[in-house]
Structure 1
Amino acid sequence: MSDNGAELPWLVIRQDDNGNRYRVGRYATRGEAQKTADKLDGHGHKQLYWVERIGQSARP
């Protein structure tokens, strides 16, 4: 699981108000992923953003 040879095990996931889930991006560190999720979450939309590591169970 790499992009240009770099391992990117952290995902930002978005869930919309209809319950559909989408992968927003992949990141090398949890901190990078969390920063992106926080920034997107701050836009005030109804979508829910969270960070998970590849292989973790999905959040509800």
Structure 2
Amino acid sequence: MTGEDAPTPWVVWRQDDNGNRFVVRRCATRAEADELAETMEARGHKQLYWVAEA
């Protein structure tokens, strides 16, 4: 797929307790990205996870 028909990639980001931001993974769907972010958050670490369009 190309152009307007291409799927929108989603990115799961992580911010550590020092304020550094990192890409965790790029996902094909928002649902996949949300699930990964929720799984990472559930681990109980101090990091912050969120999903954004690439």
Q: Per the shorter chain, which TM-score range?
A: 0.7 to 0.9
TM-score, length-normalised on structure 1? 0.76
**TM-score, length-scaled by structure 2:** 0.84
Contact 2:16 2:47 in 1 (8 A): yes
Segments of structure 1 that go 5 or more residues without pairing to the other structure are 1-5, 55-60
Task: Between the two structures, name the one with larger relative contact order (CA 8 Å, sep ≥ 6).
Answer: 2
Of Structure 1 and Structure 2, which has the larger fraction of its residues in helix?
2
Deviation at 1:38, TM superposition (A): 0.1
Identity percentage of aligned residues: 57
Q: Number of matched residues?
A: 49
Larger Rg: 2
4+ long deviations beyond 6 Å:
none
**What value does the CA root-mean-square deviation take over the aligned residues?**
1.5
